[in-house]
Amino acid sequence: MSKAQVSLRKKDILGLEAMPAAEMELILDTAKEMKNIIDRDIKKAPTLRGKAIVNLFFENSTRTRTSFELAGKYLGADVINISTSSSSVAKGESLRDTLLTVEAMGVDIIVMRHEAEGSAQFAANIARPVIINAGDGAHEHPTQGLLDMFTIKQFKGRLAGLKVAIVGDILHSRVARSNVWGLQKMGAEVHLAGPQTLLPREIEKIGIQVHNRVEDALDQADVVNVLRIQRERQQKGLFPSAREYARIFGINAKRLALAKQDALLMHPGPMNRGLEIAPDIAYGDQSAIQEQVKNGLAVRMALLFLVLMGGTHIEAAH
Amino acid sequence: MKLLIKGGRIINPAENMDVVGDILIENGKIAAIGSSCPAAGAEIIDAAGLVVTPGLVDMHVHLREPGLEAKEDIASGTRAAAAGGFTTIACMPNTRPAIDSSIVVAGLTQRAKTEGVVKLKIIGALSKGLEGRELAEIGDMIESGAVAISDDGGHLDSTRLLKTGLEYTGMFGRPVITHSEDEGLANEGFMHEGAVSAVLGLKGRPAVAEDIAVARDIMLAEYANAPIHIAHVSSKGAVEIIRQAKQRGVKVTAEATPHHLTLTDEELRTFNTAFKVNPPLRSAEHVAALIDGLKDGTLDAIATDHAPHAFEEKDVEFRYAPSGFAGLETAVGVVLTGLYHTGKLTLPEIIAKLSYGPAKILGLDSGVLKVGAPADITIIDTEYKWAVDCIKFYTRGKHSPFESRNLKGKPLITIVNGSIIMQNGEVLK
């Protein structure tokens, strides 16, 4: 199938587990075009004029919410943000009711971040607007997965055949899961590493390599993707101390040197410098962390465009 | 009034009976069982090609009354039981207030006489208010008719209280029924811990949490020399622990549910809250171990753990949905489809687990077919094909993991004390 014939199969973007490789490629190709818009003086394309997007965030987020907001605005859509710090259940209004209320206002896309795994699927079953999952609990964060792939492709020119090490709290990480699905489908070799207490039981059954020794995962890696460690995990007793984590599992210059000389260092942010990542390498020569943020915007613009315009080609982005 | 059930395949596990014949009912009791009973003056039920069994007994049902009637009450729950072929059910005490005193036991027993359509037995709480601190008035409840004692709905954390509860309940010759799952280990989990939870990102409840709790509970029962019944066994390790305990003579019995016997955690991939249950649906190796346990007698009963919830309670994000679902009206179809038609268990084996097995555990005189006994009888068409439609349930709990599934096998007639109370899926009272 030629790229021109590929289009997004489903109404919603819920995760990368079910997304075919061809669709991911379409999104990445489209993002390349979108990235040009970000660098323009006047960052406004009329492509989504007259369309309405709601960012419905049940969890705090600066990075992802801002990225989606700007993505929509750069493409000319009307974007509003609804943030709430507690679950819909705690507030007394069900998620169903909230979604139907937003739907009744005629919005075209609901970008949803929610602490509960499967909430995006739940929303897609209920609401007519397109649902884009901006993170559902520890399940998936598809746009982060896509922007990570986009970044790797930008620096390495390819994804197939690369060794990608993902290091840190895999257990609670939606980023790790989306990365695993996306990278595997694109032919990369994924290695996960972290303390056993932060690795999901039986995760190796999905065909990836799992290590407790970070060094084994880093050995000759093309890409090192470091995940954020939330300090509350230590309070829950999943590892003894931040100090010990940094010493045994943290990525520093010495450990990074085990990877290939030109290995790319990534982090979905926000970083805990001195915990999971050493300050000197966070923005060092190998770091792609700032570029990830920019690419996130491009990928989200591409997605908004593709889900609304039903794009089978990318000319309209120009 | 006479009723003649004619020409059915009579399966009576208590006496290893599996014959084609008739059953004559007179004045609410079984008057004769034989190859040919006199038909004079009797209303005749042609049971040719059907299976005639003792009235089915479900020893683990949540009726939600008193206090949570929006989910279920005696009227709706016993009608669901009748529709499902059950003539006797036992209800768990996790109501609001809890069933933890003889007044509540007596009150429910009285209400069952006016509101209920099948026989209702009461299980009393082990601790006051199900709080796990002080023993409830167990003796008083048993004297008022409670058939067993349990803090089901959650795990009893206090080892000391369980020991005392077993010793005390054992004096009355009644079992303590336990929900055995170490909450400290299972804490905050939403599903079975394994490959599927790893992918979904949902926190897992490890099978070892059940194994450890079952081991503890059995050791206490052994120490107290008192009967214990392990509810809704779901793990391979628990089956093995129960098997070993039985071999050394511990007074332990156990049950498995139709859903744990036929479904795996793979079903959760869609985040459908109808599959959320506690203990959780586990992986295929655990399901296989449960079936082995039924086959070799390690597990004595099949019980539904019927746990209805209001529709809107389940219509939320997976992690916020309550555990449990309606089970009474699908049990026979699910078990026959999943265990009988697949050749995993024989029909007499299944009927034993649905009638005589649970009746024996609770010390009931039901679950058998014998002359002079109350005529509690279920007639089943093992070949009847139907699709589950929750909206048509008699229970108020309209969620089922078997929604829209095609099942083979259904109870066609339920008879309690000689009266037909359900026919062709319709409850007549």
Say if residue A149 is in the same domain as residue A288: yes
Q: Is the pLDDT of residue A160 over 60?
A: yes
**SS3 assignment, position B101:** coil
Contact B271 A138 (CB under 8 A): no
β-strands B377-387, B228-230 pairing? unpaired
What is the Rg, in whole angstroms, of the alpha carbon atoms belonging to chain A?
19
The reply, when asked if residue A91 is annotated as ligand binding, is yes
Cα separation, B167 vs B135, in Å, equals: 11
Say if residue A163 is in the same domain as residue A283: yes
**Predicted local distance difference test score (pLDDT) of residue A44:** 87
**Predicted local distance difference test score (pLDDT) of residue A9:** 72
Q: Summarize the confidence of residues A146-173 as an average pLDDT.
A: 98
**Which residues of B fall within a CB distance of 8 Å from A202?**
194-195, 198
**Which residues of A fall within a CB distance of 8 Å from B270?**
121
**Which parts of B263-397 fold into alpha helices (H)?**
284-295, 311-314, 331-335, 347-354, 356-362
Closest CA to B382 of B418, B347, B426, B427: B347
- Helical pair B207-224 and B159-171, crossing angle rounded to 10 deg: 50
**Which residues of B fall within a CB distance of 8 Å from A140?**
201
Q: What angle do CA A20, A23, A29 make, to 5 degrees?
A: 145
Q: Which fold has domain B53-362?
A: TIM Barrel (3.20.20)
Give A 246-275 residues with CB within 8 A of chain B: none
Cα separation, A72 vs A51, in Å, equals: 9
Which among B314, B316, B317 is the top mutation candidate for probing chain A, defined by the most A β-carbons within 10 Å of its own β-carbon? B317
Residue type, B273: T
- ipTM tops 0.85: yes
Say if residue A182 is in the same domain as residue A289: yes
| Token output for A288 | 């792609």
Contact B201 A138 (CB under 8 A): yes
**pLDDT (tens digit, 9 = 90+) per residue, A84-117?**
865 555 667 889 999 999 999 999 999 999 999 9
Contact A201 B193 (CB under 8 A): yes
Contact B320 A116 (CB under 8 A): yes
**pLDDT (tens digit, 9 = 90+) per residue, B369-412?**
999 999 999 999 999 999 999 999 999 999 999 999 999 999 99
| Token output for B385 | 């094909």
The per-residue b/e assignment along A217-246, b for 16 or more CB within 10 angstroms, e otherwise, is bbeebbbbbbbbbbeebbeeebbeebeebb
**SS3 assignment, position B116:** coil
The reply, when asked if residue B309 is annotated as ligand binding, is yes
Q: For B195, which of A136, A174, A206 is closest by C-beta distance?
A: A206
The two domains B2-52+374-427 and B53-362 share their CATH topology (first three levels equal):
no
Is residue B390 within 8 Å of residue B400, measured between CB atoms? yes
Cα separation, B7 vs B51, in Å, equals: 9
**pLDDT (tens digit, 9 = 90+) per residue, A238-262?**
999 999 999 999 999 999 999 999 9
Say if residue A170 is in the same domain as residue A275: yes
Cα separation, B304 vs B62, in Å, equals: 10
Under the banding of pLDDT at 50, 70 and 90, the label for residue A142 is very high
Say if residue A33 is in the same domain as residue A124: yes
Which residues have C-beta within 8 Å of that of residue A44, sequence separation ≥ 6? Answer: A73, A74, A76
Q: Which residues of chain B have pLDDT under 50?
A: none
The CATH class that applies to domain B2-52+374-427 reads mainly beta
Say if A199 falls within a structural domain. Answer: yes
Say if A84 falls within a structural domain. Answer: yes
Listed by start position, the domains of chain B span 2-52+374-427, 53-362
CA B370 to chain centre: 23
**Which parts of B225-325 fold into alpha helices (H)?**
236-247, 258-262, 284-295, 311-314
**pLDDT (tens digit, 9 = 90+) per residue, A69-84?**
999 999 999 999 998 8
Contact A121 B270 (CB under 8 A): yes
Q: Please, what is the average pLDDT of chain A?
A: 92
| Token output for B240 | 């093995």
Tally of domains in chain A: 2
How many CB atoms sit inside 10 A of residue A308's CB?
18
Strand-by-strand arrangement of the B301-302 sheet: B56-61, B86-91, B119-124, B148-150, B176-178, B228-230, B252-256, B301-302
How many CB atoms sit inside 10 A of residue A33's CB?
17
Say if A43 falls within a structural domain. Answer: yes
**Torsions phi, psi of B331, nearest 5?**
-55, -50
**Which residues of A fall within a CB distance of 8 Å from B312?**
94
**Which residues of B fall within a CB distance of 8 Å from A119?**
317-318
Say if A305 falls within a structural domain. Answer: yes
Which residues of B fall below an 8 Å CB-CB distance to A?
190, 193-195, 197-204, 206, 270-271, 312, 315-320
Say if residue A155 is in the same domain as residue A266: yes
**Which residues of A fall within a CB distance of 8 Å from B201?**
117, 136-140, 172, 174, 177, 200
Nearest CA in chain A to B271: A118
- Assess A87–B contact: CB distance below 8 Å, yes or no: yes
Range of the domain at A199: 142-293
Say if A230 falls within a structural domain. Answer: yes
Cβ-Cβ pairs closer than 8 A, A with B, add up to: 77
CATH number at residue A197: 3.40.50.1370
Say if residue A162 is in the same domain as residue A131: no
| Token output for A270 | 């926000």
Say if residue A223 is in the same domain as residue A198: yes
- Assess A185–B contact: CB distance below 8 Å, yes or no: no
Q: Summarize the confidence of residues A142-153 as an average pLDDT.
A: 98
Say if residue A129 is in the same domain as residue A205: no
Q: For A116, which of B197, B270, B317 is closest by C-beta distance?
A: B317
Cis ω for the linkage preceding B97 (within 30 of 0) = yes
Say if residue A274 is in the same domain as residue A239: yes
**Predicted local distance difference test score (pLDDT) of residue A234:** 84
β-strands B43-46, B2-12 pairing? parallel
Cα separation, B423 vs B428, in Å, equals: 7
Which residues have C-beta within 8 Å of that of residue A243, sequence separation ≥ 6? Answer: none
Q: Is B315 a catalytic residue?
A: no
In the numeric block, the tokens 């973007």 are attached to A13
Nearest CA in chain B to A98: B316
Whole-angstrom CA distances from B196 to A202, B190, B277 are 8, 12, 15
Say if residue A206 is in the same domain as residue A268: yes
Q: Is the pLDDT of residue A318 over 60?
A: no
**pLDDT (tens digit, 9 = 90+) per residue, B266-296?**
999 999 999 999 999 999 999 999 999 999 9
The reply, when asked if residue B152 is annotated as ligand binding, is yes
Say if A245 falls within a structural domain. Answer: yes
Say if A26 falls within a structural domain. Answer: yes
Say if A13 falls within a structural domain. Answer: no
Cα separation, A152 vs A262, in Å, equals: 12
Catalytic residues of A, by residue number, are 63-64, 91, 113, 141
Of the listed B58, B73, B305, B376, which one is catalytic? Answer: B305
Contact B312 A139 (CB under 8 A): no
Under the banding of pLDDT at 50, 70 and 90, the label for residue A11 is confident
Q: Is the pLDDT of residue A2 over 70?
A: no
| Token output for B16 | 């290893």
What size, in residues, is chain B?
Answer: 429
Percent of chain A with pLDDT strictly greater than 90: 84
**SS3 assignment, position A40:** coil
**Which residues of A fall within a CB distance of 8 Å from B199?**
17, 177, 203, 206
The reply, when asked if residue A255 is annotated as ligand binding, is no
**Which parts of B124-254 fold into alpha helices (H)?**
138-143, 159-171, 183-186, 195-200, 207-224, 236-247
Contact B200 A139 (CB under 8 A): yes
Q: Is the pLDDT of residue A37 over 70?
A: yes
Is residue A23 within 8 Å of residue A299, measured between CB atoms? no
Say if residue B425 is exposed, middle or buried (CB neighbours under 10 Å; 0-12, 13-18, 19+).
middle
Q: Summarize the confidence of residues A133-158 as an average pLDDT.
A: 98
**Predicted local distance difference test score (pLDDT) of residue B358:** 98
How many CB atoms sit inside 10 A of residue B427's CB?
17
Contact B317 A177 (CB under 8 A): no
CA A267 to chain centre: 11
**Predicted local distance difference test score (pLDDT) of residue A1:** 40
